Amino acid sequence: MSEKSIMIEAKSPTESIRQAYNLWSWFYAKLVAPLERKPRMLGLERAAIQPQDRVLEVAVGPGVTLLEILKRVNQKNVVYGIDLSPKMLKKARDMVNSAGYTNIDLRESDARQLPYPDNTFDVLYNSYMFDLIQLKDMLVVLSEFRRVLKPGGRLALVNMSKEEGNVLTWWEKFYLRLPARWVPYLMGGCRPVLMKGLVKEAGFCEVRQEFINYIFTSEIVVARKPSM
């Protein structure tokens, strides 16, 4: 059974995600981010960021991982980030600035069309965003990720997931019943996804998957863009 056939479809259009996350920006860092810290940090560890790496974080949210990335690179090395939500970007900028970091380049942008040239980054980190993305757009986004990574560049994805693929979880049952307009506000728009197969399909190599059960199940997928 393909991973795509066992994922439920995302309900929320891009504009409602942007609006909902503008609102979530007020509470996300304090209320939600701590629940996801363990999988996020493991994903970051798997990305094995080196001080000289050029790093892009897609969907920075309130900047909790961005801060950790900044701690791992040289102070003169600029870290790049994008997000759909201007209010999330402001939170992220304020948070890392108040921690003393100014070596950032943050832009409002959509993961489906990244504002960077081909072969730019050594590492691309992305957490809890594919669980909001419609099935038809997943490969579009992964192709963008592959495009902007340098040959040999590393990809690290962390997402809400499930290990028993063909069984609907209580979260999915609730998600399916809730009116679409409420999903981004009450459930953050997130539903479990499985990315390993799609990452392979997008042309990445050395694809590794692991699951971590902490509050809910998360999937970590790391991969590499082929060198040639």
Rank residues 61 and 153 by Cβ distance to ligand SAM and give the closer one: 61
Tell me the residue type at 66: L
Taking the complex as a whole, the smallest distance from the CB of residue 171 to ligand SAM amounts, in Å, to: 14
The vertex-72 CA angle with 66 and 76, nearest 5°, equals 90
Dist. CA 126–CA 155, nearest whole Å: 8
Looking at beta carbons only, is 85 or 161 nearer to ligand SAM?
85
The least CB distance from residue 213 to ligand SAM, in Å, is: 17
> Minimum CB separation from ligand SAM for residue 227, in Å?
28
Choose between 17 and 194: whose C-beta lies nearer to ligand SAM.
Answer: 17
227 touches 204 (CB < 8 A) = no
Residues 85 and 58: their CA atoms lie apart, in Å, by: 12
Name the residues that contact ligand SAM, by CB under 6 A: 17, 21, 33, 36, 40, 59, 61, 64-65, 82-85, 88, 110-112, 127-129, 132, 188
| Shortest spacing between CB 122 and ligand SAM, in angstroms | 19
Rounded Cα distance between 141 and 130, Å, is 9
Minimum Å distance from CB 22 to ligand SAM? Answer: 8
Q: What is the dihedral of CA 137, 138, 139, 145, to 10 degrees?
A: 110
Q: Which is nearer to ligand SAM, 80 or 128 (CB)?
A: 128
Percent helix / strand / coil, the chain, rounded to 5: 40, 25, 35
Nearer to ligand SAM, 52 or 181 (CB): 181
- C-alpha to C-alpha distance for 103 and 5, rounded to whole angstroms: 42
CB of 20 to ligand SAM, least distance (A): 8
Nearer to ligand SAM, 9 or 206 (CB): 9
CA distance 73 to 46: 15
Minimum distance between the CB of residue 45 and ligand SAM, rounded to whole angstroms?
Answer: 15
Q: For ligand SAM, which residue has the nearest CB?
A: 61
- Could you give the CA distance from residue 154 to residue 124 in angstroms, rounded to a whole number? 6
Report in angstroms the alpha-carbon separations of 203 from 102, 142, 151. Answer: 34, 9, 12
Nearer to ligand SAM, 61 or 192 (CB): 61
